[in-house]
Structure 1
Amino acid sequence: MKEPMYRILILEEDAALIKKIQQLLTLHNYDVLTCTTAEEGIYICRQYKPDLLVCGVRLRGGSGFHFLMELRNDPSLQHMPFIFISGKETKEDMRMGMNLGADDFLTKPFKSKELLLSIKSRLTRFTVFNIQQREKKHTTIVSMPVIPPEIHNKLSKTEFRIMQMIAEGLSTREIAEQLNISIKTVENHRHNISKKLNLTGHNSLIKYAIKNLTQQYRILS
């Protein structure tokens, strides 16, 4: 019996790498979709429901981390197996990716065999998971925010909301527009948040927000 053809989405800013991975996966009987931006990725996921995603840490005009956060926050997409690929391996990037819900993290240049084995492993595990869930009469997946104690105890409700929006990838201007406050007020909030959490450095608050404001998912039967 012929194995089922799985659909895989590749998100990556490097067109040459996309083509290389696409040729490899097509050769191994995978149905491959490709794109270079997070916006395209979310649209394709909703339209075509790929069985697995291979995503670069850097995307055109955005970040793979922010794309993964949006994916995991969407009940219809949060179950999709997700493999990160990166041009460099740092413990910070790897830990951040895993904290956000990535299933694997491969560093470029990786061998074709590594990618194929990772994909096969994730698809096999996900197929088994789906079978188990179909056998249950009632299954519900609930999102449970993970809030570090220092955030819960030190920040006001407004400051915590701004932290969430930073983690979602919103700029200072976008936060100001959504909360209907001035850019200066947002900047003051960001300064106060950094001070309360003992953060220093230009991007330290963004990194902290992405790493710590994650979601966990629990299956209720």
Structure 2
Amino acid sequence: MDIYDKIKRLFGWGPKTEPARPATTPAPATGGTDSAAPERRSKPRVNARPGTRMLVIDDSATIVALLARMLRQNEYTVLEAEDAETGLEIARTQQPELIFLDIVLPGMDGFAALRQLRRDPFTRDIPVIMISGNEQATEQFYVHRIGADDFMKKPFSRAEVFARIERLLDANSVPKRLPAMPQAADDAATPA
């Protein structure tokens, strides 16, 4: 397998269908009680309805192209922005149903953009999945605290992208914001 095939496989750019496993193939023995892998594969994935509008805001052309391709393969409409200011304008005028927002952006960063999305009556109810290459847990805590609905660390897999989307779907397969987590009494008294 050459490097190009490995990259295609890593990003899910191969054929749309996987080879069928024979029904008689037993699940691999793990030696322990970990049965998450077979369960995940046997559970059908729930997708948002075709045509769902999703906005990707990231200054990396590679990340935008990767996410856009994954999403379009599932028949979603993808809007793209390479900076926060453009992304905020698209969010306000085109009303996407889900936003993927990078934290590190030129000019306005993702945290400031998220604050503006939450303050604007036209965009405050749009679910936002923050994405970042930073591995610090404090960043993950902070994005949830200021109003993000989920966090995804780069590099991410196709399975992770669709698991994050599925987590935000309502009964009609429409992305919705998650209920706000209650804050401690001393957090509520702290000015924002």
Q: Which TM-score tier does this pair reach, normalised by the shorter chain?
A: 0.5 to 0.7
Inter-partner Cα distance in structure 2 for 1:64 and 1:129: 20
Closer, same or farther: CA 24–105 of 1 in aligned 2, 3 Å: same
SS at 2:168 equivalent? helix
SS at 1:25 equivalent? helix
- Preserved CA contact (<8 Å) 1:81 1:123: no
SS at 1:62 equivalent? coil
Give the alignment of 1:129-208 within 5 angstroms. Answer: 149=189
- Preserved CA contact (<8 Å) 2:70 2:158: yes
Of residues 52, 57, 67, the one that matches 1:6 is 52
- Preserved CA contact (<8 Å) 1:25 1:32: yes
Q: Does 1:88 align with 2:88?
A: no
Specify the alignment match of 1:62 in structure 2.
108
Closer, same or farther: CA 91–74 of 1 in aligned 2, 3 Å: same
Matching residue's letter, 1:113: A
TM-superposed CA distance for 1:129, in Å, is 6.2
Of 22-31 and 113-122, deviating more is: 113-122
Inter-partner Cα distance in structure 1 for 2:122 and 2:189: 30
- Preserved CA contact (<8 Å) 2:52 2:76: yes
CA offset digits 1:75-129 (Å, max 9, x no partner): 1210000001110221221111001111111111111110111112213378486
Matching residue's letter, 2:97: D
Specify the alignment match of 2:39 in structure 1.
none
- Preserved CA contact (<8 Å) 1:10 1:55: yes
Closer, same or farther: CA 22–127 of 1 in aligned 2, 3 Å: closer
Of residues 124, 130, 141, the one that matches 2:170 is 124
Specify the alignment match of 2:3 in structure 1.
none
Matching residue's letter, 1:47: T
Q: Does 1:37 align with 2:86?
A: no
Inter-partner Cα distance in structure 2 for 1:110 and 1:72: 25
Structure 1: which 5+ residue stretches go unaligned?
131-145, 152-212, 214-221
- Preserved CA contact (<8 Å) 2:133 2:155: yes
TM-score (norm 2): 0.64
Matching residue's letter, 1:109: P
Specify the alignment match of 2:117 in structure 1.
71
Inter-partner Cα distance in structure 1 for 2:175 and 2:56: 23
CA offset digits 1:26-64 (Å, max 9, x no partner): 011110000011111111011110000001111122210
The count of residues paired between Structure 1 and Structure 2 equals 136
Closer, same or farther: CA 74–31 of 1 in aligned 2, 3 Å: same
Higher helix share goes to which structure? 1
Runs of 4+ in structure 1 deviating by more than 2 angstroms, as ranges, are 123-130, 146-151
TM-score (norm 1): 0.56
Inter-partner Cα distance in structure 1 for 2:118 and 2:81: 19
